[in-house]
Amino acid sequence: MQHKVIINDLGLIDYKKAWDIQEKLFKEIIDFKIANKELYNNKQKNSNNYFLFCEHPHVYTLGKNGSENNLLINNKTLQSKNISFYKINRGGDITYHGPGQIVGYPIFDIENFSIGIKDYIYKLEEIIILTLKEYNIYAERLKGAAGVWINTPDKKKISKICAIGVRASRGVTMHGFAFNVNTNLEFFNYINPCGFTDISVTSLEKELHKKINIDEVKKKLIEKLSFVFN
């Protein structure tokens, strides 16, 4: 069975504005599901699924189980560097968003896809892994740590190229992935990315030694999204 996903590219947008849009769609789907259950089976319909693309101005976000100790600069430094900071309601620890990074927010009713949250995260990782394969980059998962990773040239260390953090309630998801394409990696120096103190972070630009066309990458991500989620 094929599923419909409504895709919207928000462009460069303030983090809080994008968060508000997510929350609105998230509530819409949950309210629809609650009302739907009151109907006879032959009257019930599938809820909508949304996928938002965007980039954000410089911002750090801290997941609900994260530690503020993983932010390595104080408020004064944040202000001087024009970086926003939000404590948010997703899983995971601290991460960075900024220009040149593709952020994907799927607001999915995963019951439409007959999957649970673990399979959902696996599929998000698979979208990134398959997209990187288009650029001849081999990527992998790391046990116990959501996201997508690649080997450094000496194979002695791995670098994170995509962070994943989600929230789910009543089978509906929000938040999603942050895929480093042309990201300024300097901003990761001011945090312990995802709570790790011993990892490096990379980008598509760094691995390929050239600027990458963001729109081209988005098209590839949509192709892989369509394939992975049918």
Instruction: Name the phi and psi angles at 60, rounded to 5.
Output: -105, 135
DSSP string of 85-153?
EEE-SSSS-EEEE-TTEEEEEEE-BGGGGT--HHHHHHHHHHHHHHHHHTTT---EEETTEEEEEEE-T
Query: What amino acid occupies position 158?
Result: I
- Which of 103, 139, 178, 194 is an active site residue? 194
Report which DSSP code applies to 51.
E
Rounded Cα distance, 163 and 95, in Å:
8
Closest CA to 62 of 190, 204, 221: 190
Closest CA to 103 of 1, 33, 172, 15: 15
List Cβ neighbours of 82 (8 Å cut-off, separation of 6 or more).
57, 58
Rounded Cα distance, 88 and 211, in Å:
31
List Cβ neighbours of 95 (8 Å cut-off, separation of 6 or more).
60, 61, 163, 165, 178, 191, 193, 194
54: annotated active-site residue: no
Rounded Cα distance, 9 and 16, in Å:
16
Closest CA to 109 of 33, 41, 222, 21: 33
| Residues identified as active-site | 194
